[in-house]
Structure 1
């Protein structure tokens, strides 16, 4: 059965996204998706374009954003739905993160080269126009650099390798994510601050792909619920069935919104397709969207 919702997808306004908002909506329409949300990282630049294109096609696009934050030393992503996407605070968030990323780019390059490479900024800038060097960007450059065709560190990310299904994002998770060798620490707002921002902009705050971020430390979920999250992204391309079942039960128990999203990016996550969230409760998701006056 074709899914009719996808409440988590990224456009080219995310540093790791590929398609324009207009292209994404066209792809959603072709896939049979009727209700969607463009939730770019720390920016709402593409939301208006997505909404207008969705209206032309008789679809519903909910204004959204995905904000990086921290709680108890754990990096999290929180989705804000139904926000006033024109609010200045979202531009401020974007500029703050981008400025830090640009400053830390050289450190990230140094740590990458310490793994056994000799990349230069010109190689990165050839495919990056804002000076933000993501782990996925390093992977793309390295895997296409003829000098490193036989480099053993890259072997798992080649076609047929153990990490070759999604080589760019897997390389990021293995080397640039929290606690990894090339991590550079960004000063993100706290979970409490992000909840306040979303609520001040008339939105609801949903914990994104918690199975991916909490990594089994589910005791934190109870605390986050007490602090004021409004929903849980129970259905995600990252979740196994046991995780999906657990988060769904928690959402129902605490009367929270239940959402589902693919976290589609394009080339950085080629194994993930639009609508790929394994949602078996789309009626519950839609009911929650109505309850919170999002549709």
Structure 2
């Protein structure tokens, strides 16, 4: 089921995004989205480009960002809504990630080669040469290159991501989670700020701090959810393309029990998650109830 609300969209200013902010507004209009937010990874550049265009299209726009951070050794994503995206605080965050990205990308390349793949710098650079962040590579990008190399058509590590197989629904992002996410063979540590610091930054810039897709980020560490809530987050993205209905209900109840906001977002990326379309987040609550109740704290 699709919704007229989507508060988690990615543009080309995310290193794993595809379309421009302007294209994303058009896609939202064509999908009857009434309330939207572009929440790019560690980057607020899309907001200025999208906001006026969204308003002209009759769409309510909420400025947003998705920031990487850590808590008790676990990497998390925190969504900031209603932020002052012109604040230099967000430029500092973007610059910090940019400084680390080239070295981390090269280490990921070496780790991928250790898996037995003959993949080169040129392979990766050819993929990213026309992208905004053309000097950084993600796990999804490694997947795209490898899955399109003819010589690896029957490679055993890639078979689960081929059409019709167990990880083929979103092969690129699934490959990322299986090989490049925290604790996996090709994971390379980035030095992210703490959860507490990011919550503080978002609040200082007029925003609400929301825990993104906890079903994907926490995995077996779901027991730390209450500790995360105690650090001052304002809500939970209970409804996400990553969550089954039972998981969504669990996170919804956690938010309600702690008197914090509930949000919904598809985490649309384009080709990185081809089975996910705009507005597809499985929200179990009507758009009217979300807008008048759970999301009311995001509007100014």
Alignment partner, residue 126 of structure 2:
126
TM-score, structure 2 normalization? 0.94
Question: 1:294: how far off?
Answer: 1.4
For 2:298 and 2:277, the matched residues in 1 are separated by: 27
Alignment partner, residue 110 of structure 2:
110
For 1:216 and 1:241, the matched residues in 2 are separated by: 18
Closer, same or farther: CA 58–174 of 1 in aligned 2, 3 Å: same
Question: 1:133: how far off?
Answer: 1.1
TM-score, structure 1 normalization? 0.96
Aligned-residue RMSD, C-alpha = 1.4
Whether 1:33 and 2:33 are equivalent positions in the alignment is yes
Helix, strand or coil at the partner of 1:247: helix
Question: 1:171: how far off?
Answer: 0.9
Question: 1:216: how far off?
Answer: 4.2
For 2:135 and 2:151, the matched residues in 1 are separated by: 23
Alignment partner, residue 183 of structure 1:
187
Alignment partner, residue 246 of structure 1:
250
Alignment partner, residue 174 of structure 2:
170
Whether 1:204 and 2:208 are equivalent positions in the alignment is yes
Contact in 2 for aligned 1:9/1:39 (Cα 8 Å): yes
Question: 1:244: how far off?
Answer: 1.2
For 2:297 and 2:231, the matched residues in 1 are separated by: 18
Alignment partner, residue 225 of structure 2:
221
Closer, same or farther: CA 80–288 of 1 in aligned 2, 3 Å: farther
Closer, same or farther: CA 160–72 of 1 in aligned 2, 3 Å: same
Helix, strand or coil at the partner of 1:232: strand
Question: 1:290: how far off?
Answer: 6.0
Whether 1:292 and 2:289 are equivalent positions in the alignment is no
Helix, strand or coil at the partner of 1:78: strand
Q: Which of 155, 162, 166 is the aligned partner of 2:159?
A: 155
Contact in 2 for aligned 1:257/1:285 (Cα 8 Å): no
Contact in 2 for aligned 1:81/1:294 (Cα 8 Å): no
Listed as ranges, the gaps of 5+ residues in structure 1 are: none
After TM superposition, the runs of 4+ consecutive aligned structure 1 residues lying more than 4 A away are none
Alignment partner, residue 20 of structure 2:
20
Question: 1:289: how far off?
Answer: 6.2
Alignment partner, residue 58 of structure 2:
58
Listed as ranges, the gaps of 5+ residues in structure 2 are: none
| Count of residue correspondences | 295
Contact in 1 for aligned 2:261/2:295 (Cα 8 Å): no
For 1:290 and 1:250, the matched residues in 2 are separated by: 16
Closer, same or farther: CA 125–173 of 1 in aligned 2, 3 Å: same
Alignment partner, residue 146 of structure 1:
150
For 1:292 and 1:144, the matched residues in 2 are separated by: 45
Helix, strand or coil at the partner of 1:233: strand
Question: 1:2: how far off?
Answer: 4.9
For 1:67 and 1:248, the matched residues in 2 are separated by: 22
For 2:276 and 2:228, the matched residues in 1 are separated by: 28
For 1:126 and 1:118, the matched residues in 2 are separated by: 15
For 1:144 and 1:217, the matched residues in 2 are separated by: 34
